[in-house]
Amino acid sequence: MQHDYDAIIVGAGGAGLWAALELARAGVRAAVLTKLYPTRSHTGAAQGGVCAALGNLEEDHWEWHMFDTVKGGDYLVDQDAAEVLSREAIECVIELEHMGLPFNRTPEGKIDQRRFGGHTRNYGEAAVKRSCFAADRTGHMILQTLYQQCVKAGVRFFDEYHVVDLLFEGGDGGDGGRAAGAVAYRIADGELHTFRASAVLLATGGFGRMFRITSNAWSLTGDGVALTYRHGIPVEDMEFYQFHPTGLYGLGILLSEAARGEGGTLLNDAGERFMERYAPRLMELAPRDMVSRAIYLEIRDGRGIGGKDYVFLDVHHLGRELIEEKLPDITEFARIYLGVEPLREPVPITPTAHYAMGGIPTDLETRVVRDERNTIVPGLYAAGECACVSVHGANRLGTNSLVDLLVFGRRAGRRMVADVRGIGLPDLPLDPTAPVRAEIEAIRSSDGRESAARIRADLAASMMDNCSVFRDEALLRQAATDVAALRERYASVAVADKGGAFNTDLLEAREVGYLLDCAETTVFAAQRRTESRGAHYREDYPERNDTDFLAHSLVYPGPHGPTVRWKPVTITRFEPKPRVY
Amino acid sequence: MQIELKIRRYDPERDEKPHWESYLVDASPMDRVLDLLHRVKYEQDATLTFRRSCGHGICGSDAMMINRRNRLACKIRVDQLGKKRIEVEPLPGLPVIKDLVVDMEGFFDHYRSVMPFLVAGEAVPERERLQSADDRARYDDTTKCILCGACTSSCPSFWAKESYVGPAAIVNAHRFIFDTRDTAADERLEILADRDGVWRCRTIFNCTDACPRGIKITQAILEVSSAIIDRQA
């Protein structure tokens, strides 16, 4: 079945929904495709807040937010993008309030703000109250509010339509072609639907499921990133993957940095606030890459709790009233999932795979680009976690993921509104679903002996052991060997469910294929970057090396495996300096 | 320990009607029911079908009936159920698509029918609207809803009449009716004063018991009913 729209959006998290809203308000014929229901998207799991220099409680300026973003990203951030991010954060937060978002309020009735990691006043002097929040369910409220406004605006949704291929006209995506639409698999009955469109926005989120311990939803399998890569478009900065310092021990479920922003502390086995030794000024509110490394070093040196592989997050001294008003959800997580009562006792935590700084390369207008000269792929856009603008560089600051998806989701919508005017719909290939139909049939009819679930588990274990917070050449070589072997096994993957109706067995097998692409490019880029910067820490190359690596990696698919090229970083205001907190 | 997981299965392409199947799975007391479902799917029978996404109670995908009560599979632990045998069924009162997956379209249609969005005047200030912390607290509880469907599908009034908008829709109307920034309370109250609105609630409290977010749903419904009466007076 074929559907024609001027614009389609793949993914219904914050970025996709805001883009949809812009298109609907402008009267563009648009549709949103999501493999979930919109309100199930992982934006809803964000907790602590969204930073914007409103200055509601103390002096603040977008230039300070920009500086913090650049420094937090270890100077790999494109500074023109960071400027857009921190300036437009203010407009977006105000607009969300106007849409009805129930922010916590100050005594004067303004949006309340709190401290967050790496966000400072006056270029690094001390922590600043910049994070606007709705208790510890800010992401939930953003997702709900944007979906509510989409309902109001009459946005057309295709819920539980799983996009399985992208379509191009006049050559492949990496080869000068123009985006022409997408193929979606309707989960309810397995029917393939062709969506023809002049503009295609990818807003598919991240791929944390390639790691064993992750805060990410089961659905975060890098679909958009892998699909663009398969069409010849490079991925950017894949070696930078963020581990959030405070995941529930053994589970990886996120406990927001807001716990530390409100005054929570990190303690080792001796009861010491060990962050004093790593970041004397910002302590627990240092950037996430530094805090995660510090936790692992404490554990490695035998100072984990009882000598084990975790440390404590302690919030009990904040008092019942503050915790119930500002941190209710995360304290409930500790109760339910670990049986720990945070009002009385500290919570066992370890770092958890959380956020991809890298992804599909785009320009400031969210247009996908395919080389170091920013050559545009016409009609293709990306926003949110799946995209790399790059506003996060080598390490994202807390809350900047929400800022990113708001600012660039809105930009994507507006850009598409402008771009689809007056251009006709593209031509589709004669049988647009043929390639992906063949792939799906191959899996469905395979008599191989491999299960996708086992491949995913083995992949996640290897990535966790060999390509997480600490890396070196030997570990990365092991990861590369493992991923290559898993790819071999994936060629004989088979499914037990051969049916058409709601076949999650089949779709999960496809998703594991996407994770393999993400893992392969991550390991490949991590091997090539022989320096340490932000979240990418090489024990065999512990220093940052601006002479050779002040550049974004672009990994391309090739007939003999991936290849890498380098793209210069845009520097406007802030010359790279050593990163001290 | 070993748990017997009894699951109500239904494959529309193979089965005439639903049937029970039992699986023995290794479990620890701190495991969630979702962990057990994954163990069945990934180690015993890959055809088992259920929805899940975030895995920690915030996305609302995995609402189902567990030991005769609606809950999120990712938010209920084995030790909380306290039994060696756990029964898992799809949410009641909604059409079953396959195994534990139900058709949510009607549920979302009801939600969309109550104007679940802020309606405010055209004059938009340059900065945020001011709202006192007390006014904000007035509707805090109902902003927690994750639209999982556990409440509506636990409601005998909804089972009896599926045209009833149901508790979840009323919760989401409440969230705006009591927001001081909103100007469309009257229109929503009119919708909910309809014969398929709040009057179908028999204050049975199933919804409140089922809500995985701890929302005081019956109280919210009563507040909406009172607002309708006040308006008519």
Are residue B88 and residue B174 in the same domain, yes or no?
no
pLDDT tens profile B209-226: 999 999 999 999 999 999
E-strand spans in A366-522? 367-369, 376-382, 387-388
Are residue B114 and residue B95 in the same domain, yes or no?
no
Are residue B80 and residue B165 in the same domain, yes or no?
no
Alpha-carbon distance A22 to A201, whole Å? 13
End residue of a domain, out of B41, B69, B102: B102
Phi, psi of A222 (to 5 degrees): 70, 30
| Architecture field, domain A1-240+357-429+550-576 | 3-Layer(bba) Sandwich (3.50)
CA distance A188 to chain B (A): 8
Q: Which chain A residues are within 8 Å of B112, Cβ to Cβ? A: 151
pLDDT surpassing 90 at residue B123: no
- A to B CB pairs, distance under 8 Å: 153
Are residue B75 and residue B59 in the same domain, yes or no?
yes
Q: Which of residues 118-137 of A touch B (CB under 8 A)?
A: 134-135, 137
CA distance B146 to chain A (A): 7
Q: Which chain B residues are within 8 Å of A329, Cβ to Cβ? A: 58
Q: What pLDDT does B122 receive?
A: 73
pTM confidence score = 0.98
Name the nearest CA neighbour of A358 among A335, A382, A324, A341.
Answer: A382
Cross-chain residue pair B13–A499, CB shorter than 8 Å? yes
- C-alpha distance across the termini of chain A, in Å: 56
Are residue B51 and residue B160 in the same domain, yes or no?
no
Residue A172 makes CB contacts below 8 A (sequence gap 6+) with A231, A232
Indicate which CATH number applies to the domain containing B35.
Answer: 3.10.20.30
pLDDT band at B233 (very low <50, low <70, confident <90, very high): confident
Q: What pLDDT does B169 receive?
A: 98
Is the domain defined by A249-351 classed in CATH 3.90.700.10? yes
Are residue B98 and residue B123 in the same domain, yes or no?
no
Under a CB-based contact definition with an 8 Å cutoff, are residues A214 and A251 in contact?
no
Burial class (CB in 10 A: 0-12, 13-18, 19+), A395: buried
- Low-confidence spans in chain A with pLDDT less than 70: none
Interface-testing mutation among A145, A148, A155, A253, with chain B (most B C-beta atoms within 10 A): A148
Q: What pLDDT does A576 receive?
A: 97
Q: What pLDDT does B127 receive?
A: 96
Alpha-carbon distance B233 to B227, whole Å? 10
b/e map B101-111, b = 16+ CB within 10 Å: bbebebbbebb
Q: What pLDDT does B157 receive?
A: 97
Indicate which CATH number applies to the domain containing B125.
Answer: 1.10.1060.10
- C-alpha distance across the termini of chain B, in Å: 61
Are residue B83 and residue B130 in the same domain, yes or no?
no
Cross-chain residue pair B49–A338, CB shorter than 8 Å? no
Alpha-carbon distance A505 to B133, whole Å? 47
Q: Which of residues 106-165 of B touch A (CB under 8 A)?
A: 108, 112, 115-120, 124, 126-133, 136, 139-140, 143-147
Q: What pLDDT does A393 receive?
A: 98
Q: Which of residues 138-167 of A touch B (CB under 8 A)?
A: 140-141, 144-145, 148-149, 151-152
Closest in A39, A333, A495 to B147, CB measured: A39
Strands A192-202 and A2-10, how do they pair?
A: parallel
Q: What pLDDT does B82 receive?
A: 86
b/e map A417-448, b = 16+ CB within 10 Å: bebbeeeeebebeeebbeebbeebeebbeeee
End residue of a domain, out of B53, B85, B102: B102
Q: Is A374 on the interface with B (CB under 8 A)?
A: no
E-strand spans in A161-300? 161-169, 178-186, 192-202, 235-236, 241-248, 265-267
Are residue B79 and residue B114 in the same domain, yes or no?
no
Alpha-carbon distance A420 to A422, whole Å? 6
Q: Which chain B residues are within 8 Å of A499, Cβ to Cβ? A: 11, 13-14, 47
Closest in B55, B61, B97 to A188, CB measured: B97
Are residue B135 and residue B200 in the same domain, yes or no?
yes
Are residue B50 and residue B136 in the same domain, yes or no?
no
Q: In the 8-state DSSP scheme, what is residue A557? A: -
Closest in A102, A329, A339 to B136, CB measured: A102
DSSP string, B191-227: HHTSTTSGGG-----HHHHH-TT---HHHHHHHHHHH
Are residue B149 and residue B138 in the same domain, yes or no?
yes
Strands A30-34 and A156-159, how do they pair?
A: parallel
Cross-chain residue pair A100–B117, CB shorter than 8 Å? yes
Name the nearest CA neighbour of A132 among A163, A169, A95.
Answer: A95
Q: How far is CA A248 from the centre of its chain?
A: 19
Which structural domain, as residue segments, surrounds residue B62? 2-102
End residue of a domain, out of B102, B135, B160: B102
Residues of A with catalytic function: 288
Q: What pLDDT does A436 receive?
A: 98
Q: Which chain B residues are within 8 Å of A218, Cβ to Cβ? A: 52-55
Q: What is the dotted CATH code of the domain comprising A434-539?
A: 1.20.58.100
CA distance B233 to chain A (A): 29
Cross-chain residue pair B117–A36, CB shorter than 8 Å? no
Q: Which chain A residues are within 8 Å of B49, Cβ to Cβ? A: 497, 502-505
Cα atoms in the Cβ-side hemisphere of radius 13 Å centred on A261:
32
Alpha-carbon distance A380 to A179, whole Å? 6
Are residue B71 and residue B114 in the same domain, yes or no?
no
Q: Domain boundaries in chain A? A: 1-240+357-429+550-576, 249-351, 434-539
Query: Domain total for chain B?
Result: 2
Length of chain A: 581
Give the rounded percent of residues in chain A with a pLDDT score beyond 90: 99
